[in-house]
Amino acid sequence: MQPPERSSLRQLAAAAGLSSRRFIADATGRVSMAEACGTVGTAPASPPTWLPGRLPVVPAETFRACSVMVSSARQLPAVLALLRLDGIAGRIVLCPPDAAPDHLPAVIAEARISAIISDGTGPALPAGTPVFGCPADAPPDLTDDAVGAATQWLLFTSGTTGRPKLVVHTLPSLIGPLDDGLGLAPDAIWSTFYDVRRYGGLTILLRALLGGGSMVLSRADEPAADFLARAGRSGVTHISGTPTHWRRALMSGAAARMAPRYVRLSGEVADQAILNQLAAAFPAAEVAHAFASTEAGVAFDVRDGLAGFPAGLIGKPGMKAELKVVDGSLRIRSARTADRYLGATSSMTDADGFVDTGDMLELRGDRYHFVGRREGVINVGGQKVHPEEVEAVLNRHPAVQMARVRGRASPVTGALVMAEIVLRASAGAEPSPILPDALRDDILEACRRALPPHKVPVTLRRVASLDTTGSSGKLSRRTQDEHA
């Protein structure tokens, strides 16, 4: 959907309806949508957890045309700040809770931040920039004349090394993907394992706010079983996460505590194994997987239960996101694309307006399959290995719950393929870090049947869990040598 020109987030959320059934909730409680939007005649709710007394609170109008960073450990204060500041602030930087504190001074300088909105939690903030609590007031009913120029929304890229880039979006580019034909009942209750300061979580939040639904927010340190139980108690009907999020959810044994109507995967390659597992865990739900990136926006989602996507989508006329493949990489052109990287001297698109996603495709029959990231290739004696391709084979084995494949330096071949696996509880192996020889041989034999020799792992290690890259929910892809 495209908003009316110069409409604010708060206006659009209120226009979707302020029924008493609509709410935004986190692990500590909930607020009604009317309270969150601060509609006329509704006293703004201000629990102490929102507005710690040690931070000064000023009217939202104070931040008109200012560059503001929103930073907190919890997501609810950030959502309230967005509702109060979009259409007033000139720029809002959404700081994820796992942002490296030593990166923030450069981010603040580059984005010309003049104020930070916080609840007193989140990454350690550098001295020198005023810090305020979330404005207790929402501005009066904003007319089109009162809404300023479109607020820039700046999102951190989800890279795991170096200082993240800041991607410049506006509300129209962020809500463009909502017009994808997904039928929603007016009582839809959304949730996501993602943090809403990341693109994947933000698009789900916007679906809830602008689609007339409610939103249940996750918490970074909440065990998967507790989150699923809370989502179930809240009546969540639509929920999203990365394949890694979902594998952990299934491992928790708590999937039966909720009964969603729609389950979505994005952010990583969704292989057939996880799609089948989710279809079995949630037989009444539609299981879909989507492709999106912070820069390119949402390109498409696939709802047929199969890995990959139909080849006919490439070059298909009339698509809201146009797709093409160049040198094996998916490229996207649409109104959902971000404007630019902040401070960049060159465009993030090519001469024809396409974003090179860096996600590599392989055509198999009548479907394209994602095989991995261009920069994630392991070079084994001059031959390329995409870790995700090997992981998909490992994940198909009935004893494997999840797998991670990485490279390790070798003086002979340049790199070797190493694999770590988490076993299913039903695998029957003893609770030991040692992988039984028979099971190891069976898993490696499955790899040999499906992969050429240079892609077969030379070592297979059992682990209790696999680490992720914080609020993005993706498997950490650091190499064995970087961990050493």
- Tell me which long-range contacts 380-384 makes (C-beta under 8 A, separation of at least 24): 380/407, 380/413, 380/414, 380/415, 380/416, 380/417, 380/454, 380/455, 381/412, 381/413, 381/414, 381/454, 382/414, 383/454
pTM for the model stands at 0.88
- Delimit the domains of the chain by residue range: 9-361, 377-483
* pLDDT value at residue 164: 84
CATH for 9-361, among 3.20.20.80, 3.30.365.10, 3.40.50.450, 3.40.50.12780?
A: 3.40.50.12780
Three-state secondary structure call for residue 166: strand
Does position 149 have pLDDT exceeding 70, yes or no? no
Does position 1 have pLDDT exceeding 90, yes or no? no
Does position 47 have pLDDT exceeding 60, yes or no? no
> Whole-angstrom Cα distance, residue 161 to residue 414?
22
What is the average per-residue pLDDT within 375-394?
A: 92
* pLDDT value at residue 137: 65
Does position 472 have pLDDT exceeding 90, yes or no? no
What is the average per-residue pLDDT within 78-95?
A: 94
CATH number for the region 377-483 comes to 3.30.300.30
* pLDDT value at residue 181: 62
